[in-house]
Amino acid sequence: MKLCIAEKPSVAKDIAQVIGAKSRMDGYYEGNGYLVSWTFGHLCELNEPHEYTDKWKYWDLKTLPMIPAKFSIKVKDDSGIQKQFNTIKNLVERCEEVINCGDAGQEGELIQRWVLTKSQSKKPLKRLWISSLTEEAIKEGFDKLEPGEKYNNLYAAGSARAIGDWLLGMNATRLFTLRFAKKGQVLSIGRVQTPTLAMIVKRQLEIENFVSTKYWELKTEYRGVLFSSTKGKIKTLEKGEEFIKAIQEEEFEVVSYTQKEGKELPPRLFDLTSLQVEANKKLGLSAEQTLNTIQNLYEKKLVTYPRVDTTYLPDDIYPKVPGILNQLTHYSRFTEALRGEKIRKSKKVFDNKKVTDHHAIIPTGVTPSGITPQEQKVYDMITRRFIAVFYPDCIVSNTTVLGKVEKLDFKATGRQILDKGWRIVFEDDSKSSDDDKKEQLMPTFEQGEKGEHKPQLQEKDTRPPAYYTEATLLRAMETAGKQVDDDELRDLMKENGIGRPSTRANIIETILRRNYIKKEKKRIVATQTGVHLISLINNELLKSAELTGQWERKLREIEKGAYKVEDFKQELFEMVNLLVHEVKHQPIEKMPTICPKCNKGHMLRGKTAWGCSDWKNGCKFTLPFQFKNIQLSSRDMESLIQEKKSKNRYRIGKSKELQYIVLTEKLKLKVDDSDKE
């Protein structure tokens, strides 16, 4: 018997149907010489600190750093998970060979290997590696099963990542909590979440500390076209008026007029990050919503494997393209134009060197049915991109006109679409024209022509950088915090990105759940807690996106066999030791009490009451020092706001007046009756 282990019950069912294991048993399928079972994602995890030694059971600075001599795993403490693990363990004993049918990526490899390690499997291991769940793909995958050993480096990288997250997360969280947190508070630190938060905080502080200044731009209108001075920003109104005075009576002269035909290539196929960016911009979906949606489409056999970081296809997909296009019957209005034509094969689409474990996300050709409106919209985005890359380039005419008035130079540009090409595929997509900025249409100019013009001075203000949205934050994570618009350059930087395409959405949700950030419409804003946490961290390795990105690159090198796991772990040990030493000797800075009403400002002590620091922006929350003979100390105020109660019953008592203060401010606080007077 051969045992196939998939990552989800639904995937196991699909595989079982294809290979003929059609008898449903308790926790597995059986038939045709196969056993097919499944995990529920992670059945196993690294041990908790106290499971290595009793001295790590309690949070104590003296026990840090916690570095196990050897890391070990356990089955999760959940009855359903333990039952399924025991089912797999028994099946391992029955079979002659194990086929790893886990998700074809680093995390999928780790999940399966941990289960096999914990079940003490000594059976030969094969690997099913597929990019879609269609019947054709599964059959093809089983015809090309590979030795499990081929993916040992992938497993090593996944294991190193998990160990790195444990070492840094467990030690840094205890360290910063014990040193800086208030009673009952936990300051969560993570290898990827902390540099991500640091990027958000840095941007927010830049915005808050930004001082806007005025500047002026010199423009002039000639023959209905607005020309801009090449002087750029003019710092003073007086200087701008001097320029106006100098040119208003003089004629405008056309120095040169050039028209150049250019090509606009189709947009690239999607990887996971670019899909999340596009879905956030056009559909308003969060990164996590997009990930869940595309995962559902994958499991419904409608698209290929989604957790990818490449926008390219391998050459062996090229012969399959006509068949996929023919199956996209709902898009026949676009695919009809490609029928009978030789399918375009661009190096911007097909490149074996830029495809690693998986290729870009494309439709499988299976006709959608029974999908949600949200799934339909995401599927539509993927399918249009796929069709568009086989269309001709968009042909445009770019016009540049240079002019001058006296000694001042001016410039105007315009663009005209001569042949829509691939843009036809997006014409009926109401949200497709994001980058289709309307440029002014140009009349024909003659070099040397002169005439009257209308100069003007436009007053403007310098603007702070924009808040991150999920779209721009995902891009920043992908490029380790650097602003990169060029696709080619972004490809080169992906190896240094922080997190992986499959984990970035979860990282954003994690820091949101921990109240380090919040969402204001599309903007991502750091809370006072998040800002203060980053201010406490002096160690650059812990919060630098660039340095964390270098670690991510080393994990990828482990995958390739170019870097040793032991070297990576040694770097982690050294970092954790240094971090603990630094923080133990760092002066303690008290964390502010966050305003419970607006959750933006923090509580400040005034003359007669505590009030919110964000009062200039409209938060009127106050808590008086004294109310009807009740005196509240700073400690009482902090306790009431943070813990929703005060244990200082002796001074506060069971006063209805205190409850009145609390209720009118909608805090729903209470006095703890458990303490003795």
Catalytic annotation, residues: 305
Phi, psi angles (nearest 5°) of residue 458: -100, 125
Closest CA to 218 of 439, 459, 463: 459
% helix, strand, coil for the chain, step of 5:
45, 20, 35
Structure-derived torsion over alpha carbons of residues 505, 509, 510, 516, reported in degrees to the nearest 10: 130
Residue that the structure tokens 């916690």 belong to: 66
Q: Exposure of 653 by Cβ count < 10 A (0-12 exposed, 13-18 middle, 19+ buried)?
A: middle
CB 404 within 8 A of CB 320: no
551 vs 549: CA distance, rounded Å: 5
Structure-derived torsion over alpha carbons of residues 95, 98, 99, 104, reported in degrees to the nearest 10: 140
> Count of alpha carbons within 13 Å of 390, Cβ hemisphere only?
22
CB 504 within 8 A of CB 151: no
Sign of the CA dihedral running 646, 652, 655, 658: negative
Sign of the CA dihedral running 372, 374, 375, 376: positive
Which are the contacts of 201, defined by CB distance < 8 A and separation ≥ 6?
A: 526, 530, 531, 534
Q: Before 68, cis peptide (omega within 30)? A: no
Sign of the CA dihedral running 335, 337, 340, 342: negative
